[in-house]
Amino acid sequence: MSSHSPSIEIAKGYKVNYDFKYRLSRRGFLAATAGLAVSASLCPAVASGVDERSIRIAPGQARLTGQDGLSTAVWTYNGAVPGPALRLRQGQPVRIAVENGLHEDTTVHWHGIRLPNAMDGVPGLTQPPIRPGESFVYEFTPPDAGTFWYHPHADSLVQLGRGLAGPLIVEEAESVAFDRDLLWLLQDWRLAKDGQIAGGFGSAMDASMSGRVGNLVTINGIVPADLDVRAGERVRLRLVNAALARMMALRFEGHRPVVIAIDGQPCEPHEPENGRLVLAPAMRIDIALEMQGDPGSRHDVIDDFYNGLAYRLTTLAYSKAVPIRLHPLDAPLALPRNPLPKPDLANAVRQEVLLQGGMMGGGKLAGVGGMMGMGMPGMNGTPAWAINGMSMTGDGHAGMAPQFTLERGSTCRLTMRNETAWWHPMHVHGFSLSVLSRNGAPVPHRQWQDTVLLAPKDTIECAFVADNPGDWMLHCHVADHQMAGLMTVFRVT
Ligand code: C2O
Ligand code: CU
Ligand code: CU
């Protein structure tokens, strides 16, 4: 990338490159704080009754670059991008009435929540799509506390790309010791020169390569200003990557974040390798940040996932105030574990999932099942990817034949092999996976994930108890990849 890449001024002093290998400049952005406090209300200690919520989905406008910036036409949950932070309580039933004010079908998927199949939000497979003007009531009781999110599962590439995504937080029954609980829902937008969302969703290049990576990253719907912090505080920061395709690797300069949960599931607290938090689309990581910088100091938060395309996401800006405490808190960082069923590895059923397709070296497309010779894969909705030789495209529809069937209560030991030259965050609905090994090496810290990132040629082994009956999706969460065939279904009977 040279400095000649096309850029436009979408707000005073603020330029954005519309070439997708972009570089951000945030000068001139002083409004809005980068963190959204989520621990505002003092909730009653005992969960009781049904928590009633409602969400209306409709087109709207957002100023992604700040109050003085251009207004972008987006699609919204309750008028906002991202949608409202739903804070639920572990073990308390919730009823969420969703009304579709779009001109096309939609559904809501509660990503990562272990819930009844009929509430999973996959059109055709688990429910009829919600037609324009119609409603659907979702009812479930979240069994696990943690950081989750919600998004459509219909026309996913376009609907997510137009902004439909929201955070879902399930609070621990017992309180945990943090001074502040912050949430960053990260979105990645591909904006055109006029500040509007660029067309060209599902192009053959995006579909068969890295997906629709954008040119503007927002935190909680806005280009981040500084995050104001106070020396001595212990912050819980919940990171959600709600991008269509952008992988992220965050570094907090001068700080040592400790990972305390992945995909909503507590793990053994640990510092990430090289201090980098690798966050693929749909993944969540909760970190504990001890604010040990000096009063008045500033520390950048950098995303350097893509070689040569590192950029500053935001800056931790310490107030001049004296530290709120002299020594870090003693209270342990480990979060209470969720009630996940323990896999019985000795008696596990083995299943293998091969990820195939995509553009290979030299601009050649890999053979996808029997699909070669049918024109350019990835073009006009033809498959570019496959799982075990089969391409399921789109979002889900009636009559999707399951790839494999598991007996209820059995343990499945699942191997996923990435035969492609691309990264894939593989997501399973309805379950959390105990991640056992990566390329033969054991994965430490007792990690459970619903979205597991596979680097090119990686092999991952994981296990789960098939305790939840129904037809469940397993797909790549790079939206273009899912739409172009990197998806399958399995059944639990
Ligand atoms: Cu975020 Cu099919 O899921
Ligand atoms: Cu999901
Ligand atoms: Cu993928």
Which residue puts its alpha carbon closest to atom 3 of ligand 1? Answer: 111
Q: Which domain holds residue 420?
A: 345-492
24 and 167, same domain (yes or no): yes
Residue 394: band (very low, low, confident or very high) from pLDDT cuts 50, 70, 90: confident
Task: Name the more confident of 363 and 103.
Answer: 103
* pLDDT band (50, 70, 90) for residue 352: very high
Structural domain includes residue 340: no
Report which ligand 1 atom has the smallest distance to the Cα of 111.
1
Q: How many domains does the structure of the chain reveal?
A: 3
Closest ligand 1 atom to residue 122 Cα is 2
Q: Under a CB-based contact definition with an 8 Å cutoff, are residues 403 and 377 in contact?
A: no
What is the Å distance from ligand 1's center to 392 Cα?
Answer: 15
Q: Residue 360, Cβ neighbours under 10 Å: how many?
A: 14
CA of 477 to the centre of ligand 3 (A): 6
Q: List, as own/partner pairs, every contact residues 306-309 make where C-beta atoms lie below 8 angstroms and the sequence separation is at least 24, other chains included.
A: 306/247, 308/1, 309/1, 309/21, 309/22, 309/23
Instruction: Give the distance (Å) from ligand 1 centre to CA of residue 235.
Output: 28
Ranges assigned E (strand) in 103-179: 109-111, 135-140, 146-151, 166-171
Q: Confidence band (pLDDT; 50, 70, 90) for 46? A: very low
- Classify 334 in phi/psi space as left (phi over 0), alpha (psi -120 to 50) or beta: beta
Strand partners, 474: 428, 488
Cβ–Cβ < 8 Å for 241, 281:
yes
The 3-state DSSP composition of the chain as helix, strand, coil percent (nearest 5) reads 5, 40, 55
Report how far residue 254's alpha carbon sits from residue 249's, in angstroms, rounded to the nearest whole number: 16
Tens digit of pLDDT for each residue in 435-487?
Answer: 999 999 999 999 999 999 999 999 999 999 999 999 999 999 999 999 999 99
The conformation of residue 206, written as its DSSP 8-state character, comes to H
- Nearest bound ligand to the CA of residue 475: 1
Distance CA 439, CA 309 (A): 27
Q: Say if residue 388 is in the same domain as residue 486.
A: yes
Categorise residue 357: left if φ over 0, alpha if ψ from -120 to 50, beta otherwise. left
Determine the Cα–Cα distance for residues 122 and 128; give it in Å rounded to an integer. 8
260: left (phi over 0), alpha (psi -120 to 50) or beta: alpha
In a domain, 410, yes or no: yes
The pair phi, psi for residue 424, each rounded to 5°, is: -140, 115
Is the residue at 307 inside a domain?
A: yes
State whether 85 and 201 are in the same domain.
no
Do 399 and 437 belong together in one domain? yes
- Counting from 1 in the atom list of ligand 1, the atom nearest the Cα of 473 is 2
Q: Which two tokens stand for residue 418?
A: 């990435």
Residue 245 Cα to ligand 3 midpoint, Å, equals 8
Atom of ligand 1 nearest to the CA of 153: 2
Give the mean pLDDT of 155-179.
95
Task: Using DSSP, state whether 160 is helix, strand or coil.
Answer: helix
Residue 70's pLDDT band, with cuts at 50, 70 and 90, is: very high
Confirm if 331 and 394 have CB atoms less than 8 A apart: no
pLDDT reading at 5 higher than 80? no
**Do 392 and 431 belong together in one domain?**
yes
Provide the 3-class DSSP secondary structure of residue 117: helix
Q: Residues 404, 432: one domain?
A: yes
Residues 166 and 194 in one domain: no
The residue whose CA is least distant from atom 1 of ligand 1 is 111
In a domain, 11, yes or no: no
Give the number of the atom of ligand 1 that is nearest the alpha carbon of residue 112. 1
Whether residues 365 and 475 share a domain: the answer is: yes
Residues with CB under 6 A from ligand 1: 109, 111, 151, 153, 282, 427, 429, 473, 475, 477
The answer to whether residue 418 sits within a structural domain is yes
Distance 442 CA to ligand 2 centre (A): 25
Query: How many Å lie between the centroid of ligand 1 and the Cα of residue 126?
Result: 13
Neighbours of 20 (CB within 10 A): 18
User: Is there a single domain that holds both residue 29 and residue 163?
Assistant: yes
Is residue 491 a contact partner of residue 471, using CB atoms and an 8 Å limit?
yes
3-state secondary structure 277-316: EEECCCCEEEEEEECCCCCCCEEEEEECCCCCCCEEEEEE
CATH number at residue 425: 2.60.40.420
Per-residue confidence band for 310, with pLDDT thresholds at 50, 70 and 90: very high
CA distance 150 to 130: 15
Residues near 97 by beta carbon (within 8 Å), at least 6 away in sequence: 52, 53, 54, 55, 135, 136, 137, 138
Closest listed ligand to the CA of 478: 3
Q: How far is the CA of 290 from the centre of ligand 2 (A)?
A: 31
**C-alpha pair distances (Å), 101 with each of 63, 78, 93, 130:** 21, 10, 26, 10
At residue 278, does pLDDT exceed 70? yes
242 Cα: distance to centroid of ligand 3 (angstroms):
15
pLDDT at 48: 65
Taking the CA of 150 as reference, the closest ligand is 1
Q: Which ligand is nearest to the CA of 474?
A: 1
pTM here?
0.89
Question: Where among 318, 353, 371 does a domain terminate?
Answer: 318
Atom of ligand 1 nearest to the CA of 151: 1
Domain assignment present for residue 325? The answer is: no
